[in-house]
Amino acid sequence: MIDAREPKIGATATATGQQWDRPNGWAPLQYLAIEGLNFHGERDLAREIADRWIRKNALGYAATGVLVEKYNVEQGADGSGGGGGEYPLQVGFGWTNGVLAKLMAEYPDLASHALQRNP
């Protein structure tokens, strides 16, 4: 689900309290959306989504010292980890770490800005 007015990528539009549903966003979905938008010439929207994801991860890390498996994409850029599902929020997921590293390499200016605000 992409809302062009406020780009955020959630797995579904349904809020069930389950881990894959609203308001959770997952790193692989962010990355695939960004790559697809870039491929189809929607570079500004891809960049905005990358910026929001990098900032959310940086804020979350600054607040907790860890990266987590999913983030609440409806809480603005406050770094809130996601919730719901059958187990507690997982720390240090490889896909979160990998996607963040890839986005920071692809958008070094966005990464620098996020890190300056959240050292």
Residue-wise pLDDT tens digits, 68-109: 999 998 876 677 788 888 889 999 888 999 999 999 999 999
The one-letter amino acid at 18: Q
Question: What is residue 5's predicted lDDT score, i.e. its pLDDT?
Answer: 54
Q: Residues 46, 38: contact at Cβ < 8 Å?
A: yes
Question: pLDDT tens for residues 7-54?
Answer: 578 888 888 888 888 889 999 999 999 999 999 999 999 999 999 999
d(CA 81, CA 75): 9
In this prediction the pTM is 0.88
Task: Please list the alpha-helical segments (H only) found in 1-119.
Answer: 27-39, 43-64, 94-106, 108-117
**8-state DSSP, 17:** S
The one-letter amino acid at 55: R
